[in-house]
Structure 1
Amino acid sequence: MSAVITVLTEPFSYGFMTNAFLVATAASLVCALLSCWLVLIGWSLLGDAISHAVLPGVVLAHMLGLPFTLGALVFGMASVALIGVVRDTSRVKGDAAIGVVFTAFFAAGLILKSRNPANTDLNSIIFGNVLGISPVDRAMVLSLAAVVTAVLLAKRRDLTLFAFDRTHAHAIGLRPARINALLLVLLALTTIVALQVVGVILVVAMLIIPGSTAHLLTDRMGTMLLVAPAIATGSTVIGLYIAYWTNASSAGWIIVCQSLAFGAAYLGSPRHGIIPRMMRRRRESRGSLG
């Protein structure tokens, strides 16, 4: 019993691990909430685009000695605005606008990074390093997570109606264009929060896997908003424990745990899982033969 207690409590004897649990849990919670709407609307990969578009802001912030989160925030919002401008003022469709903007921003970030000799800290942003987050970045991440979570919960009904039926949303007085813009802004802020935990490479996983897993387990939006954060935060805590005791990548283990949860839902979800569906088909075939 004492060994179990040691396993559970020892990581919290270090300040950097306490910070990691706090920041990673907050990030996974807000990503999971937003992922429920992203999966339903079909915006899952937009988070990946924004995460790459913030790279030049991160590099410039590093060169100027500013918090990474500040640079990511400026360029994240700029990329969202530019995607909207290109999409709305030209014949270019939304997916093409996303591709043009995020690749241009990311390429500019690579150029800046190649000219920056001190790139160790930049690698931590690209691949994630929640164990080394600074107090300033921690405060900004937690503040952004709190703001996004509050807005998502306050606007959950409007966002849900927008996701399922934009025509009806417009008919009852909602403005889909404003909700669309709000979601884009929230996505940019959430992406910046997740960057501190898993980096540019894996941020899309935190914005896709929790909502997709919950979507396999339930058909009710209200239940999804409970299941997705539970899966995400549980995977984060387990992943951080495993990373600590195996001296491995915390970002990698967080995403692996979320992926295992998705795999379990994909195979065993009572209604939509592969195995239950196969069993139902067998019973139906036997019943038809009988």
Structure 2
Amino acid sequence: MWEKLLEPLSYGFMQNALVIGILIGILCPIVGTYLIVQRMSLLGDVMAHSVLPGLAIAFYLRVNILIGAFVSGIISAFLIAWIRTQTRVKVDAAMALIFSSFFALGVMLITLLRNKLDLDSFLFGDILGATVEDVWRTAIITAIVLALIKLFYRVLLYYTFDPLGAQAIGLPTGFIYLGLMSAITLTIIASMQTVGVVLVVAMLIGPGITAYLLVKQLHHMMLLGAGIGAISSIVGLYISYYSNTPSGPAIVLVSFSLFILALMFSPSQGILTRPEIGSRSNKTLQSLRAIIKNSLRI
């Protein structure tokens, strides 16, 4: 048993992958919690695909591709906010438009600029190819984002649950929105190498909604979601190591499996364990007994 657990740790690439996986497993659910509560979970997927034009341009100009990805993600967030506030277009339609347009622009730029950008790694991740530099970069991004969330937690909490009230009392809602979008973009950048942009939304949302089924308060949801995300990363990496399967999808499927367990057996919201299930079954039994008695009398 112990040999099975310790064997992957003897390889440097698995050590790097586990560290990055744990960091991303903690960071994604904490940031994604704000998207879940604001009912904007699709925004994570939009932002994940909107970084592609920035990646293509940065790769062509031979600058750090992470800078290009960050700028592209922030521009897409501004465009969504502008369309939502300046027109009658609903936010879901604006997100769908920006999502498809930016992704198409990125693919077009890669073709026109003749970039040799590894799209497979970008789309599906390559956590096993992570280097020590990647570990440090992910750790720095994680530390910065978590420190800012801790510092502005009360402001973000107020803005998340009552944006109109936050605006009414004079909070800079525009800057809060920009800060939240920056945190999401940085999280996506840190997660690209782990699970890729196609699956990053699953890590942003999956552990968070699993925690949502189990706890009620926002900070408890963040902490439990971070634990679920870290466990999903560790278990997924071990499964991929011993089954010779892709690591990113394995991590996401473990997270989804934990969600299904919570959906079935959550003490307060589980399909099989919620209190009203017992009362319904008792009513059903009483109805059956009444039917049997009436039939015997006849």
TM-score, normalised with respect to structure 2: 0.86
Residue from 115, 119, 122 that aligns with 1:122? 119
Kept in 2: contact 1:166–1:176 (CA 8 A): yes
Amino acid at match of 1:100: L
**Which of residues 82, 107, 124 in structure 2 aligns to 1:85?**
82
**1:135 Cα deviation (Å)?**
4.3
The equivalent of 1:15 in structure 2 is: 12
Q: Is the 8 A contact 2:56 2:115 kept in 1?
A: no
Q: Is the 8 A contact 1:59 1:122 kept in 2?
A: no
Q: What secondary structure sits across from 1:17 in the alignment?
A: helix
Aligned residue type for 1:132: G
Which digits, 9 at most, give the CA deviation of each residue in 1:113-151, with x for residues without a partner? Answer: 3453635x3311111111113444443322212111111
Distance 1:140 1:80, change over 3 A: farther
Match of 2:293 in 1: none
Contact 2:59 2:115 in 1 (8 A): no
Query: How big is the shift at 1:67?
Result: 4.2
State the partner residue of 2:70: 73
Is 2:228 the partner of 1:231?
A: yes
Percent of aligned pairs sharing the same letter: 37
Return closer, same or farther for 1:145/1:246 CA change in 2, 3 Å cut-off. Answer: same
Give yes or no for the alignment of 1:36 onto 2:24. no
Matches of 2:128 and 2:55, distance apart in 1: 18
Q: Separation in 2 of the partners of 1:63 and 1:280?
A: 64
TM-score, normalization: structure 1?
Answer: 0.89
CA distance in 2, matches of 1:286, 1:154: 54
Counterpart for residue 278 of structure 2: 279
- Higher mean alpha-carbon deviation, 191-200 vs 280-289, is at 280-289
Counterparts of 1:285 and 1:164 in 2: how far apart (Å)?
A: 39
Match of 2:241 among 244, 249, 255: 244
Deviations 1:169-191 (A, max 9, x none): 34555343432332222112112
Does structure 1 conserve the Cα–Cα contact (< 8 Å) formed by 2:166 and 2:173? yes
Residue 198 of structure 2 is aligned to residue 201 of structure 1? yes
Q: Aligned pair in 2 of structure 1 residues 174, 114: CA closer, same or farther (>3 Å)?
A: same
Residue 192 (structure 1) shift? 1.5
Equivalent runs, 1:117-266 vs 2, <5 Å: 118-119=116-117, 121-170=118-167, 172-266=169-263
- CA–CA separation in structure 1 for the residues paired with 2:183 and 2:231: 23
- Distance in 2 separating the partners of 1:9 and 1:123: 30
Deviates more, 1:190-199 or 1:127-136: 127-136
Tell me which residue corresponds to 1:59: 56
Aligned pair in 2 of structure 1 residues 261, 280: CA closer, same or farther (>3 Å)? Answer: farther
Instruction: Work out the CA distance in 2 between the residues paired with 1:203 and 1:110.
Output: 19
Instruction: Name the aligned partner's letter for residue 281 of structure 1.
Output: R
The number of aligned residues is 286
CA distance in 2, matches of 1:225, 1:196: 23
Larger radius of gyration: 2
User: Tell me, what secondary structure is at the counterpart of 1:12?
Assistant: helix
Q: Distance in 1 between matches of 2:7 and 2:285?
A: 55
Q: Deviations over 1:19-60 (max 9, x none)?
A: 111112111211111122211111111010011111122233
Once residues 284 and 163 of structure 2 are traced to their aligned partners in structure 1, the CA distance between those partners, rounded to angstroms, is 40
